Structure 1
Amino acid sequence: MTHARVWRFRPPSGREQEFEQAYSGTGHWAKLFEKAPGYRGTVLLRPSRLDDWWLTIDRWESEEHFKAFERDFGVQYRGLDQELEGVAGDEDFVGAFEED
């Protein structure tokens, strides 16, 4: 079983490349997540229509692994979130899911 966390984003016009560099599976967020045990990777889904939502899917071995990441890397998480302010544009947490 894999714990997946899904977010949707609408980056500001003209910042899509910067967004992709930060939020892709090799981007800034993924590099932070990789420091934590139980991280299984991130997938970035690009919209097929202009101005539609982008999606990220962050996968963890379990919800407990994600909670441990939040506990152990909360300061770094908030710092990166502040550093990337404005790159993500509109963002919403879609939800947490369990995947077979």
Structure 2
Amino acid sequence: PSGSPLINAFNIEIAPGKKTDTHQHLVPLYVYVVSGELEVDYGSKGKKVIPAGSSYIEAMNWCHYGKPAGQGPVKIIGIYLGQEKPDQIKPVSCDKLQ
């Protein structure tokens, strides 16, 4: 991203049986799985399961959703690398793109 850099970190917990909305990221997102297992569904590009203690860079400009892969919740730390204006940190709902 160009402009004034903005780095934000968030603790995110997804309860069993729940999932995120289908969304995409406009800026790089570094994810660390603190506990549980995270399943990310990339649609036609398949699914990926990320275990606790692992990290990865999330896909940009591709619709996906995340949910716990196991019986319990999944806890992650997400670190967004964006810029102050416009605010690029908030994921974009894929429902709005259709």
Does the TM-score normalized on the shorter chain lie above 0.5? no
State TM-score, norm by structure 1.
0.31
The structure where helix makes up a greater share of residues is 1
State TM-score, norm by structure 2.
0.32
